[in-house]
Amino acid sequence: MQIRKNTDSSSCAACHGKFMRLRNFLFPAPPRRIPRHRALGLTLRTAHLMTFGALLGGHFFDVDPARLMPFLVATIASGGALLALELTSTCAWLFMGKGLVVLAKLLILLMVPFFWEHRIFLLLLTVAVASVGSHMPSRFRHRCFFPALQQFCPPSQELSSERSSS
């Protein structure tokens, strides 16, 4: 049995075209503008903080798990909606400081079912990571940590205003 190498340039070009369309869809340049992005983000973030706070308090005070289930669902839904909102603009967001912080929080939260007896510590650690991520300097929060994706990361308005004021 002999394996033939495909030398048909039209199929190679078609593959390249599909790859480019996918890349442009996931990493548009410039990033898509989402109408009312700030208001949506603020609303979703507020709901997320409220429901996660209730969930954390419920675990801390050993509330019946059935009573916590609506808060768990609402926390997952609001967090998923926040993630979708950011990824709709550009998937390069995942590789920026703020996206990497979200991925770190998700990793910590995924450990909860496996280390159930340490869930309060893991939930508090998630709050600490979120707090540090929210308040770290914008040069880290908005920095793209993968140089190959730098061209797809949106320029930060905070960074440009800091530069113009100095």
The percentage of residues in the chain with a pLDDT greater than 90, rounded to a whole number, is 66
The pLDDT tens digits for 85-104 are 999 999 999 999 999 999 99
Return the structure tokens found at 59.
């675990």
Instruction: Look at residue 51 in the predicted model and tell me its pLDDT.
Output: 98
pLDDT value at residue 1 = 58
Residue 36's region, left for phi above 0, alpha for psi from -120 to 50, else beta, is left
DSSP 14: H
Nearest to 134 by CA among 50, 45, 73: 45
Average pLDDT over residues 140-147: 88
Residues 154, 135: Cα–Cα separation, whole Å: 19
Does the structure show a pLDDT above 70 at 162? no
pLDDT in tens, 64-86: 999 999 999 999 999 999 999 99
Q: What is the pLDDT of residues 4-56, one digit of tens each?
A: 555 555 667 777 788 888 888 898 888 899 999 999 999 999 999 999 999 99
Q: Is the pLDDT of residue 164 over 60?
A: no
Query: What average pLDDT does range 156-166 have in this prediction?
Result: 45
3-state secondary structure of 157: helix
The DSSP H or E segment spanning 36 is none
According to the model, what pLDDT value does residue 166 have?
A: 41
pTM over 0.85: no
Amino acid at 146: F
Q: What is the pLDDT of residue 117?
A: 96
- Report d(CA 91, CA 84) in Å as an integer: 10
The domain spans of the chain are: 36-89, 92-166
